[in-house]
Amino acid sequence: MGLLKSDKLPVGYSLVDAYTAIRQWYQNNVGSISLSDLTAKNNSRILIQNLPKASVLTGTELQAVLIEVLHGSLEWAYHKDDVKFKMGAYAQEGLKTAKFSDSLNQDEIRNLHTSSLWRYLTPGLKSNPTMNTSKSNDKSSFDSLFE
C-alpha cells in the first residue's frame, strides 16, 4: 500500500509525534474497524486497546506500531485521516525522521520479546523473513518514495 502523490506529509514529525497521532486516531475510531475477517478485526481491536502512551515505549516498540500501520493489523486505516494527515503518512514520516526501517531486524524482534505489546503484534511482523541487518543506515523500501 502506498500514499498518493497528492497526499500531504507531516514533514518533520518525530517518531513520538507520529505514534501519538496514530494512537489517538485509532483509539477514537476503534469501533469502525473495516475488516471482514473477524479474527483480524479482533486482533486489530485488541492491539488498539492496548496501545500505551508513547512515554512508556522504547523506540523499537514505537517502530513496531508504525510498521503495523504500514503492513500489519492496523493497515486497514492506512488511508484514513485525522483531518490533517493519513495514518500511513504519519507512520512513514515517523519512521523516516527516526531513521528506522519499515521492517524489523533480528535484534529488534528479540528486544520486542519482553515488550507488553509483543502478544498483540502481527505474527508476520515478529518473524519477518526479509529482516534488515542494520537498524538505521540502510534505506528502507519507503525511502525510495521520497527521492
Run means of pLDDT, 10 residues per run, the chain, 147 residues = 89 96 97 91 96 97 97 96 97 96 94 95 76 38 33
Convert the pLDDT of each residue in 90-113 to its tens digit: 999 999 999 999 999 999 999 999
pLDDT of residue 128: 57
Q: What is the pTM of this model?
A: 0.85
- Buried-state track 114-128, b at ≥16 Cβ within 10 A, e below 16: eeebeebbbeebeeb
Interatomic CA distance for residues 61 and 55, integer angstroms: 11
Q: Which grid cell is 35?
A: 475488516
CB-CB contact of 80 with 68 (8 Å): no
Query: Please, what sign has the CA dihedral across residues 126, 106, 52, 4?
Result: negative
Instruction: Give the whole-angstrom CA distance, residue 29 versus residue 132.
Output: 32
